[in-house]
Homo-oligomer: A and B are copies of this chain.
Amino acid sequence: MVNPPKQTIGVCYYPEHWPESRWDEDARLMVAAGITHVRIGEFAWSKLEPNPGEYRFDWLDASFEVLHRHGLKVVLGTPTATPPKWLVDQMPDMLAVDENGHVRGFGSRRHYCFSHEDYRKECARITTQFAKRYGNHPALIAWQTDNEYGCHDTVISFSEAALKGFRNWLAQKYQSPDAMNRAWGNVFWSMEYRSFDEVELPNLTVTEANPSHLMDFRRYSSDQVKSFNKLQTDIIRKYSSAPIGHNFMGSYTDFDHYAVSEDLDIATWDSYPIGFLDRDSSDDENKARYLGVGDPDLQAFHHDLYRACGQQRNGAADGRWWVMEQQPGPVNWAPYNPAPYPGAVELWAWEAFSAGAELVSYFRWRQPSFAQEQMHEALLLPNGEFNEGYHVCEKVSKLLESMEAKAQVERADVALVFDYESQWAWEIQPQGRDFSYIELIMRYYRALRRYGINADVIPATKEAIANRKLLVMPGMFNVSHELAEALASSKATILAGPRSGSKDENFQIVQDLPPGALRELMDIKITRVESRPPTSPVPLEDDFAFEGWREFVTAGEEVSASMRSEDGHDGVFENDRMIYLAGRPNAPLADHIIKTALEKAGIVAERLHRDIRLRDNNGIRYIFNYGPETVDCSEIIGGSELEFGEVKLVPRSVTAFRL
Q: CB distance B531 to A338 under 8 Å?
A: yes
A84 proximal to B (CB < 8 A) = yes
Q: Cα distance A506–B83 when bound, in Å?
A: 24
Q: CB distance B85 to A194 under 8 Å?
A: yes
Which of A248-256, A284-292, A396-404, A457-465 forms part of the interface with chain B?
Answer: A284-292
Q: Which residue from chain B places its CB closest to the CB of A181 in the assembled complex?
A: B46
A101 proximal to B (CB < 8 A) = yes
Q: Which residues of B contact A536 (CB under 8 A)?
A: 287-288, 291, 338
A50 proximal to B (CB < 8 A) = yes
A370 touches which of B44, B109, B212 (Cβ 8 Å): B212
Q: CB distance B188 to A372 under 8 Å?
A: yes
Q: CB distance B372 to A189 under 8 Å?
A: yes
Q: CB distance A111 to B432 under 8 Å?
A: no
Q: CB distance A369 to B287 under 8 Å?
A: no
Q: Which residue from chain B places its CB closest to the CB of A278 in the assembled complex?
A: B533
Q: Cα distance A149–B102 when bound, in Å?
A: 28
A442 to chain B, nearest CB (A): 21
A191 touches which of B207, B213, B288, B371 (Cβ 8 Å): B371
A211 proximal to B (CB < 8 A) = yes
Q: Which of A103, A190, A211, A330 neighbours the largest number of chain B CB atoms within 10 Å of its CB? A: A190
Q: CB distance A109 to B383 under 8 Å?
A: no
A312 proximal to B (CB < 8 A) = no
A641 proximal to B (CB < 8 A) = no
A335 proximal to B (CB < 8 A) = yes
Q: Which residues of B contact A103 (CB under 8 A)?
A: 204
Q: CB distance B108 to A209 under 8 Å?
A: yes
Q: Which residues of B contact A332 (CB under 8 A)?
A: 431
Q: Which residues of B contact A89 (CB under 8 A)?
A: 198
Which of A222-230, A507-515, A606-614 forms part of the interface with chain B?
Answer: A507-515
Q: CB distance A335 to B432 under 8 Å?
A: yes
Q: CB distance A207 to B531 under 8 Å?
A: no
Which of A300-308, A317-325, A374-382, A576-584 forms part of the interface with chain B?
Answer: A374-382
Q: Which residue from chain B places its CB closest to the CB of A87 in the assembled complex?
A: B190
A-B residue pairs in contact (CB < 8 Å), sample of 10: A46-B187, A46-B190, A85-B192, A104-B206, A107-B205, A211-B372, A288-B533, A336-B531, A377-B528, A383-B511
Which 4 pairs between the two chains have the least Cβ-Cβ distance?
Answer: A185-B370, A188-B371, A46-B190, A82-B190
